[in-house]
């Protein structure tokens, strides 16, 4: 099929996965409020029918969107519209869809146990995913903004979803206020860039920047504000203040989902905008990115060492990973871009996996989140312990796991751009991170349980078991036979980088 964006129907085809997700989300919403499926009935775990049905039904929608995404690979573009169907977008979509699947699977029992409104919960997840996809598909800053808002508002609601939990409500409010604040930055930056270049279309901006037609001062100011807006969303230090509180307060499956998918969406849009639209002012934004990357890696890892709450520790770990990904943005070359995609994919699996274990140990709720609660877990639940250890080793970037290959990929991008100091900071930060990942592992394996039978009552739903096993398999696959996924990531950025005119080499 050839799309030239001459009619709205072409947009429909180009945005088919988004449409499917939104449509399916509304369907779930209606099913949810149709009354038959009242989650407040309570009961024991064996009879957890209705809300699980909704969740499984949600997965059908995600699957349909995945099929549509696969179908888009056969589509070619004849003209330029507000959105694009390039490989970069489609790769990013796989990450979002994968995160959505993991997120929903983790929520199946959680939503039921915590008596959350299943219909709203799952449809908001789908809407958020659709927003992320829009951000990845955008060829225009306005579309990015639209996607950003669709995603953010859904996630604000999801964060505050557990109304009975004060921390959840507090987190939701905090996230909303700071998120709105950062959106302001983003919008102001967008306006300034528009003022400087006369366009919100990424390719036109790139042309205006390159040709020198843009108003320099306004442009640089706008670029800076856009960077701040994105930095909030990817939670780079010093714009990360909201992250630990929000991640800690939100329901754990939501935390997992947003620590992965929201971050991925923000990074994908971040990369596209800065790589395609602003290579002409690389010299100006390069030092900003450098410092953001360095600060994020150092501060997040050092602070994570002091955490005793596992959820909060993983929150800081997720900030740290944003730092590693910022290195790829700083390098801004083809290897780094491919590395960023590959890392996001691996990160989605390993972080989701770690959080899935947190949900299980937290008894599908919000208790047992302290390090001590993991003491002796490996003795009682060896397989769960091994899985958690593999996820942690991968997060730490240990050889044999996908995290290692991903980190090397990022490092290669940095090395290619001669970012030696940043590379050294990255590995030193990694050594620090070993400490807190290993600490969880030592509680799991080397401590005795606080009380007898502490882990006997853990309930691991079949769906979670399947997801965990699949996650471990993927992590090992990416770690031991990464070639296929790496080539896939490399091919996915080829069009993007060729679109971004003469990149790099400007500073070095």
Residues near another protein (CB under 8 A) are 379, 382, 393, 398-400, 404-405, 408, 411-412, 415-416, 420, 423-424, 427-428, 430-431, 434-435, 438-439, 442, 445-446, 482-483, 486-487, 490
What is the closest distance, in whole angstroms, from the C-beta atom of residue 402 to another protein in the complex? 13
**Three-state DSSP class for 86?**
coil
| Reduced DSSP (H G I as helix, E B as strand, rest coil) percent helix, strand, coil of the chain, to 5 | 80, 0, 20
Pick the closer one to another protein by CB: 159 or 430: 430
Q: Which residues contact 351 (CB under 8 A, 6 or more apart)?
A: 256, 259, 260, 314, 317, 318, 321, 391, 395
- Rounded Cα distance between 352 and 208, Å, is 41
Pick the closer one to another protein by CB: 148 or 375: 375
Residue 238: asked if its preceding bond is cis (omega within 30°), the reply is yes
Pick the closer one to another protein by CB: 223 or 440: 440
Separation of CA 414 from chain center: 21
What is the closest distance, in whole angstroms, from the C-beta atom of residue 279 to another protein in the complex? 22
What is the closest distance, in whole angstroms, from the C-beta atom of residue 392 to another protein in the complex? 11
For residue 250, give the nearest of 258, 240, 239 by alpha carbon. Answer: 258
Q: Torsions phi, psi of 80, nearest 5?
A: -110, 135
Pick the closer one to another protein by CB: 30 or 484: 484
Tell me, what DSSP letter sits at residue 2? E
The count of C-alpha atoms lying within 13 angstroms of the C-alpha of 342, restricted to the half-sphere facing its C-beta, is 35
Residue 149 contacts residue 131 (beta carbons within 8 Å): yes
**Three-state DSSP class for 115?**
coil
| Distances 421 to 261, 297, 427, 428 between C-alpha atoms, Å | 29, 13, 10, 11
What is the closest distance, in whole angstroms, from the C-beta atom of residue 492 to another protein in the complex? 13
Pick the closer one to another protein by CB: 88 or 285: 88
What is the closest distance, in whole angstroms, from the C-beta atom of residue 501 to another protein in the complex? 24
What is the closest distance, in whole angstroms, from the C-beta atom of residue 358 to another protein in the complex? 22
Pick the closer one to another protein by CB: 18 or 373: 373
What is the closest distance, in whole angstroms, from the C-beta atom of residue 133 to another protein in the complex? 28
| Distances 436 to 85, 117, 293, 307 between C-alpha atoms, Å | 40, 35, 20, 8
What is the closest distance, in whole angstroms, from the C-beta atom of residue 481 to another protein in the complex? 8
Residue 2 contacts residue 81 (beta carbons within 8 Å): no
| Distances 281 to 8, 202, 352, 485 between C-alpha atoms, Å | 35, 14, 36, 32
What is the closest distance, in whole angstroms, from the C-beta atom of residue 455 to another protein in the complex? 15
Sign of the CA dihedral running 321, 294, 177, 183: negative
Pick the closer one to another protein by CB: 273 or 371: 371
Helical spans, DSSP H, in 160-237: 166-197, 202-211, 216-234
Pick the closer one to another protein by CB: 359 or 475: 475
Pick the closer one to another protein by CB: 128 or 496: 496
């Amino acid at each position: 099929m050839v799309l030239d964006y001459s009619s709205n129907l072409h947009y429909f085809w180009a945005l088919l996965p988004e449409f499917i997700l939104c449509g399916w989300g509304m369907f779930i919403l209606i099913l949810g409020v149709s009354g038959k499926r009242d989650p407040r009935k309570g009961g024991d775990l064996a009879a957890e029918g209705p809300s699980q049905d909704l969740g499984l039904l949600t997965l059908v929608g995600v699957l349909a969107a995945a099929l549509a995404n696969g179908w888009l690979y056969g589509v070619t573009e004849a003209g330029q519209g507000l959105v694009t169907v390039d490989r970069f977008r489609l790769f990013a979509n796989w990450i979002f869809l994968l995160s959505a699947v993991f997120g929903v699977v983790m929520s199946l029992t959680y939503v039921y146990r915590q008596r959350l409104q299943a219909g709203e919960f799952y449809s908001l997840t789908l809407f958020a995913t659709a927003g992320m996809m829009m951000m990845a598909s955008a060829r225009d800053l306005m579309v990015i903004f639209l996607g950003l808002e669709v995603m953010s508002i859904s996630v604000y609601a999801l964060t505050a979803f557990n109304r009975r939990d004060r921390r959840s409500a507090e987190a939701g409010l905090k996230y909303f206020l700071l998120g709105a604040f950062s959106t302001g930055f983003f919008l102001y930056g967008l306006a300034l860039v528009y003022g400087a270049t006369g366009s919100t279309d990424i390719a036109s901006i790139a042309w205006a920047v390159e040709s020198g037609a843009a108003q320099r001062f306004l442009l640089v100011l706008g670029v800076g504000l856009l960077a701040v807006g994105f930095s909030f969303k990817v939670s780079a230090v010093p714009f990360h203040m909201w992250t630990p509180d929000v991640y800690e307060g939100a329901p754990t499956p939501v935390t997992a989902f947003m620590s992965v998918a929201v971050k991925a969406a923000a990074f994908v849009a971040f990369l596209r905008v800065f790589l395609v639209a602003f290579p002409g002012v690389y010299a100006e934004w390069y030092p900003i990115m450098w410092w953001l990357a360095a600060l994020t890696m150092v501060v997040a890892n050092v602070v994570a060492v002091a955490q005793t709450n596992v959820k909060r520790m993983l929150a800081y770990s997720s900030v740290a990973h944003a730092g590693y990904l910022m290195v790829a943005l700083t390098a801004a070359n083809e290897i780094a871009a491919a590395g960023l995609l590959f890392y996001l994919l691996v990160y989605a699996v390993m972080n989701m996996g770690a959080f899935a274990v947190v949900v299980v140990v937290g008894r599908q709720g919000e208790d047992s989140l302290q390090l001590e609660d993991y003491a002796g877990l490996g003795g009682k639940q060896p397989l769960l312990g091994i899985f958690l250890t593999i996820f942690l080793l991968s997060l730490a970037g240990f050889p044999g796991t996908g995290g290692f290959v991903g980190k090397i990929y990022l490092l290669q991008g940095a090395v290619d751009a001669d970012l030696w100091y940043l590379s050294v900071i990255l590995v030193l930060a990694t050594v620090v991170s070993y400490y807190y990942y290993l600490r969880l592992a030592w509680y799991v394996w080397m401590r005795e349980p606080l009380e007898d039978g502490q882990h006997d009552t853990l309930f691991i739903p079949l769906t979670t078991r399947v997801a965990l096993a699949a996650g471990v398999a993927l992590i090992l696959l990416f770690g031991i036979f990464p070639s296929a996924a790496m080539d896939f990531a490399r091919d996915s950025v080829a069009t993007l980088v060729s679109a971004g005119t003469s990149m790099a080499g400007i500073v070095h």
